[in-house]
Amino acid sequence: MTELSRRATALRAWHRPGDPLILPNAWDAGSARAVVAAGFPAVATSSAAVAEALGHADGEATPVAEMFAAVARIAAAVPVPVTADLERGYGLRPAELVDRLLAAGVVGCNIEDSDPRTGELYDVEEQADLLAGIRAAAGAAGVDLVLNARVDVHLRAYGPEPGRLAEAVRRARRYRAAGADSVYPILLADPAQIHDLVAEVDAPVNILARPGAPAAGELAALGVARISFGSGVYAAARARAADLLATVRAGGDPFAS
C-alpha cells in the first residue's frame, strides 16, 4: 500500500485554495492518458461519462463490477493519482467500497448526498455517517483516501433559492466534520456565493467548470481549491465526433482544416 499512500498524500496536498487542482475528467484509459500527456498531475473520472462509454445511463445504472473494472483500467493506464466519481457508492458498505477502490488502484473518490435514482437529498446525518464510515474504513486499510463530499443542494434545486447557500454551507460543514477532505457544491456558479461558501466552510472547495461558471482564474481568486469538468470533456469529444461523422456522411473530408 506504500505507493497508494504516497499518491493519496500527493493528491490531498494539491488541493490548495487559490491555486486549484484542475481535473478534466476522464472516462477510459485513452482519455486518462491524454489528461496526463496534457500535463495534469492527477486524473479524475466522471461517473456519467464512464457509464455512457460502457453503454449505461448515469444514476448508478452501471453494474458495480463494470464501474470498478473501468476505474481500474484507468488507474492502471497512468502513473499519477486517480480519484473516482462513485455517485453514492452503488449500495456498497463503506468497507467494501474502500476495498474495491484500493484494489482498483484509486486513492480518492466523490460521494454525492442525493439519491442518484430519485434525486432526493439524503438526511445530512445519514450522509455524514456514510462519509465517516468510508473515512474509518480507509484508515483501517492503511490508505488515507481523499474523500470529496458532493453537496447537491443546487443540483436538486432544494428548497427556496434564497436558502440554498445556507443549506449547502450547513451540509458542507457537517461532511467536513465527518471526515471529508473537500466539499463539492455541484452547480454552484454565482461568484458571490462561491466566495461566501469558501469563507464559511473550513475545507477545500471543488467547483464544476461549465458554461456560466467563473473561469479558472476567477475561481482561483475566490479561493477555490479544485476545479473539475464532470462529463463536459466527454460531451465535447462526442460532439466533435458527431461533427466528423456528419462530414463523412455528406461526402466531405473530415480531416480538412
| pLDDT given for residue 255 in this prediction | 87
119 closest CA partner among 205, 186, 177, 44: 186
Residue for cell digits 472516462?
A: 27
- Please, is 203 exposed, middle or buried when counting C-beta atoms within 10 Å of its C-beta (0-12, 13-18, 19+)? buried
Q: What is the mean pLDDT of each run of 10 residues along the chain (257 residues)?
A: 92 98 98 98 98 96 97 98 97 97 98 94 98 98 97 88 92 98 97 97 97 96 98 96 94 86
pLDDT reported for residue 149: 98
d(CA 151, CA 148): 10
Q: SS3 of 57, please? A: coil
Q: What is the pLDDT of residue 1?
A: 56
Q: Is 100 helix (H, G, I), strand (E, B) or coil?
A: helix
Residue 65 phi/psi, 5-degree rounding, is: -65, -40
pTM given for the model: 0.95
